Amino acid sequence: MKTDMASRARTGPPDLWDPVVRITHWGLAVIVILNALITDGGSTLHVWLGWIGMALLLLRLVWGLLGPVEARFSAFPPGLRQAVSHLRALATGRRVGHYPSHNPAGALMIYAFWASLAVVTCTGLVLTGGATPMQVAADKAAVASGDWSALAREEADGGEDGGAFRKQVEEVHELVADLILILAVLHVAGVAVESRAMRRNLVAPMLAGLRRSRGK
């Protein structure tokens, strides 16, 4: 294991991220974009995508403990000082280090993503009273056919105080969803800058892998 880490430390991040990292990455990216920009908040589709996102996030977090070396949390620990010195090296055109997994600045961004996704998921669950997407769909159908008792469940408002609480949860949900979009813009810019500095296409390993013939 030690030799494996050491040799990767010389060569940088993997030529191809494992399938769990790739599927959870692109799955979460698509879901964030759809739910933040396209689906109707609270619609059955929005809740379905939210639940799929929750499953992908949980899978990735378990993978951080059990997955291959470069996918583990231990391969990219959060470190503010390391992140700052990495960014300083980038800004001053000094040679940046090669890391066995995500670089220290990327690592901070990634933990911020995961924490924000956890907040958006939990607040979403509070807004729907923990109802599954199937229950949400059934409640919407019941309301549409005139069963108003389903409305309270659908909105999970819990009375007057509950209404104010719900409003606050809704605000946190939307605010953190916006924060994720801002992080995503910085993230894509960061990937472009790092790829240039490392003279290595970082997106390819997240898609289908780098070809060995590309100078490796």
Site string for ligand HEM, 112-151 (x = CB under 6 A): -x------xx--xx-xx-----------------------
Q: Which residue pairs, CB below 8 angstroms and at least 24 apart, start in 120-126?
A: 120/50, 120/173, 120/176, 120/177, 120/180, 121/50, 121/53, 121/54, 121/57, 123/169, 123/170, 123/172, 123/173, 123/176, 124/47, 124/50, 124/173, 126/156, 126/166, 126/169
Does residue 31 touch ligand HEM according to CB under 6 A?
Answer: yes
Which of 28, 75, 96, 108 touches ligand HEM (CB under 6 A)?
28
Query: By three-state DSSP, how is residue 208 classified?
Result: coil
Which of 16, 23, 25, 97 touches ligand HEM (CB under 6 A)?
25
Q: What is the DSSP letter of 110?
A: H
CB 95 → ligand HEM: shortest distance, Å?
Answer: 17
Q: Which parts of this chain interact with ligand HEM (CB under 6 A)?
A: 13, 21, 24-25, 28-29, 31-33, 35-36, 40-42, 46-47, 50, 53-54, 60, 102, 106, 110, 113, 120-121, 124-125, 127-128, 170, 173-174, 177, 180, 184, 187-188, 191, 202-203, 206
